Amino acid sequence: MLKRKTSFIYLLCLLLLLLGTQGCSAAKQGQPEEKKPQALTQLNASYSTRPINVPAIVALDQHNFEKGFQGEGIAFKWTEIAAGPAQLEALASKSIDISTSMNYVSALLAKANGNDIKVVAGYSQFPKGIAIVAQTELNVKTLADLKGKKIALQKGTMLHEFLIKALEKENLSPGDVEMVAMESVDAAPALMGGQIDAAILPEPLLMKVVSSGKGTLVLNAEGLITGQTFIVARADFALEHPEAVKSFIQLHEESIHWAEQNKEQFYSVAGEQLKLEPKAVEALYPKFIFSTEINSEMIHELKLSAQFLQENGFIKPTVNTDQLVEDLVDMSFL
């Protein structure tokens, strides 16, 4: 009797064990499998050689990105895209994965408008390389002399913020001038041709216009904006391929280092690409700081800029600007 009872208990336990295993198996089958990111085979990035983007100029000459990623089994392709809005459009359409030299205002506005991007590294700072230039024949001495005049600029960029802050400093408002939306590369000849009264230009366009005698420097951006640009990636790309982003930043730093160690050669290479004399490149070089660093001061400045843009109607009042910056910047790749 005892033996029969023991056998019954054994069979019952075995049955419960089998049912439990099937239940766990069914539960696992009901759960969606974690989707693993596919191995990266192609990385597309944008560049601009202007104003004087040292890392881009070196990268195009040395082909270090193509060589570096080839060693990782990844095909690499550069696409030239200069303007912030065009860079953002390319990121949104996924035609590029990483954008270099994106100005901070474009990045802030894009994030505020739902473009899921991440600032992953610094690129450059050049407030001394941005200025308001007026037609020489207008004899402009201060920004107040441009009241009611046509000023060309790339709207929705740091050039736009610079103009608004410069106007405020002179107790003027944006409505006191006529802002004309124009790419910098088009604004320079438009100014020299007399089609506009003034323009906000970065180097080397600034130097070309002033040296032509047809433009007079009115005010540069130092002390008004940081002139900061960043390396920006699609958020989904950065999440799925963090090592590729880190490799990109490392190759970028190698480009900066090469230029610092080979200045004379760099001046020659940059002069050829930008159609400038090497001596002109050498004169402009100190106006630019190239670094991947992102520090607490930069974060603070970004938050101040976001608040400024919100106060001037560029960012919706409902947006938490501090949180916007926190969500935008990701320093884990540095």
The domain that holds 167 is classified in CATH as: 3.40.190.10
What DSSP line would sit under 174-196, residue for residue? GGGSEEEE--HHHHHHHHHTTSS
Q: Does some domain include residue 191?
A: yes
Q: What crossing angle do the helices spanning 242-261 and 54-62 adopt, rounded to 10°?
A: 90
- Contact (Cβ atoms closer than 8 angstroms) between residue 184 and residue 196: no
Q: Which residue range forms the structural domain that includes residue 144?
A: 128-220
- Does 204 map to a domain? yes
100-129 pLDDT, tens digit per residue, is 999 999 999 999 999 999 999 999 999 999
Q: What is the 3-state secondary structure (H, E, C) of 85-128?
A: HHHHHHHHCCCCCEEEEEEHHHHHHHHHCCCCEEEEEEEEECHH
Both 92 and 157 in a single domain?
no
- For residue 282, tell me if it sits in a domain: yes
80 and 135 share one domain: no
The pLDDT value given to residue 156: 87
Q: What stretch of H or E contains 222?
A: none
Instruction: Mark which of 203, 220, 237 sits at the end of a domain.
Output: 220
Last-in-domain residue among 187, 220, 253: 220
In a domain, 235, yes or no: yes
Number of domains in the chain: 2
- Spans in the chain with pLDDT lower than 50: 1-19, 21-28
What is the predicted pLDDT for the residue at 38?
82
pTM: 0.85
- Residue finishing a domain among 220, 254, 277: 220
Domain contains 175: yes
